[in-house]
Structure formats: C-alpha cells, structure tokens
C-alpha cells in the first residue's frame, strides 16, 4: 500500500460499490492496513456505499470503531440500504461493537432502512433490545418494509425478544406491513 500511495494512488478512491480502501481493509479485518491508511490521510467518512464505520461494526472491531469515531466518523451515517453502523453491528450480532457505538453517541432511532431495534430483535439479542428501549428507541417504529421490531422478532422465531418488546409496550396491531398476529399464526407460534 505504501508504495502505491507514494506513486499517487488516490487514498479515498471508491470501487464500483462505493467502498474506499479503508473500508476494504476493515471489511477484511486488516487493522494494520486500516491504521496505515488513516495515517496516510484516508477519510474516515469516505465512500458512498459501505462506509469504514459500517465495515468495522460488521467485523466487531471495537478498537477501530472507537478510533474512527474519535477521528470524526459520522456515527449515524447510513449505507446504501439506509442502515447505520449500530444497525449493522446488531445485525451481525456484534454486541461489543454496538455498545461502543452507543457510547460514541449513535442514535437508537437513526436510519431510514432497517433500524437498530429491529436488528437486535431479529438476532434475539434480548439485552440489547431492552437497552435500546431504555435509551428511548421507538418500540413501534417501522423499517423500510413497514415492519416493527415485534413483527421482525416473531418472523425470525425470537420469542424472548418478542416478549421483551411486549413488556416494553410494543403494539400488537402496529405496522403497515405484516402484523404480529399474522406472523405468529404463519409460524404456528400458538403461545405467542
């Protein structure tokens, strides 16, 4: 990388999917390469597709998340799917990364596509479901498909997460997509 950069390679150039070299290094779990790119001036917000913070969140690279946030990475920036890094961390079951992002100021209601609470519900991460609700996540907020976190939890068989959401006041008739009762019936969840 150093030789390529010395010969004029554009440090923040994007590939065909809108990813920078920094994003690619993080997506591959290559911390040393990521740090070398940051030292070389790579933008921590570079890319129009997956951003560096999203890649680090997906891999659960807590130290890199803290470092990138400290260098000005936009913690609530969205990827092409309308997901924030917090949503990505939860979607991949990276609880440590999710907590680091929350500490860095990530919004619990941010994102126009999938939402953090829906991602935690889908994965059945009950502790994070409760924590997000405690931090004022809108329990009945809909994702880009009109689904609430309760509907998502039920659709993926996450009964404990569904119960935690019900305890938090999730609406049993909320959502403009499939409703919770429809999903429970479809899955044969008699006790729900």
Encode pLDDT of 77-116 as tens digits: 999 888 999 999 999 999 999 999 999 999 999 988 889 9
CB atoms within 10 A of CB 110: 18
> pLDDT at position 55, please?
97
- The CATH homologous superfamily of the domain defined by 114-192: Ankyrin repeat-containing domain (1.25.40.20)
> pLDDT at position 114, please?
86
| Range name among 50-59, 104-113, 119-128 with the lowest pLDDT average | 104-113
The alpha carbon dihedral of 131, 124, 153, 56 has a sign of positive
pLDDT band at 122 (very low <50, low <70, confident <90, very high): very high
Domain 1-110 has CATH 2.140.10.10: no
CB atoms within 10 A of CB 167: 11
Q: How far apart are CA 46 and CA 26, in angstroms?
A: 13
Residue range(s) occupied by CATH 1.25.40.20 in the chain: 1-110, 114-192
What end-to-end distance do the CA atoms of the chain give, in Å?
Answer: 54
Cα angle for residues 162, 165, 168 (degrees, 5° grid): 155
CB atoms within 10 A of CB 101: 30
pLDDT surpasses 90 at 185: yes
> pLDDT at position 63, please?
96
Arithmetic mean of pLDDT over the chain: 95
pTM: 0.93
> pLDDT at position 159, please?
97
> pLDDT at position 49, please?
85
What is the pLDDT averaged over residues 161-183?
A: 93
Q: Answer with the residue of higher pLDDT: 175 or 30.
A: 30
pLDDT surpasses 90 at 70: yes
């Amino acid at each position: 990388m150093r030789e390529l950069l010395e010969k004029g390679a554009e440090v923040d150039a994007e590939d065909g999917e809108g990813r920078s070299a920094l994003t690619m290094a993080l997506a591959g779990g290559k911390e040393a390469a990521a740090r070398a790119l940051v030292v070389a001036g790579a933008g921590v917000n570079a890319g129009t597709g997956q951003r560096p913070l999203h890649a680090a969140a997906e891999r659960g690279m807590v130290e890199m998340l803290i470092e990138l946030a400290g260098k000005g990475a936009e913690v609530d920036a969205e990827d092409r799917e309308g997901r924030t890094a917090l949503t990505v961390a939860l979607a991949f079951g990276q609880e440590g990364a999710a907590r680091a992002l929350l500490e860095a100021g990530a919004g619990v209601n941010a994102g126009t596509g999938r939402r953090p609470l829906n991602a935690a519900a889908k994965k059945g991460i009950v502790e994070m479901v409760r924590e997000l609700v405690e931090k004022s996540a809108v329990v009945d907020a809909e994702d880009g498909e009109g689904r609430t976190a309760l509907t998502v939890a039920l659709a993926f068989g996450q009964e404990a997460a569904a119960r935690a959401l019900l305890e938090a006041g999730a609406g049993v008739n909320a959502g403009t997509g499939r409703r919770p009762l429809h999903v429970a019936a479809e899955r044969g969840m008699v006790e729900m």
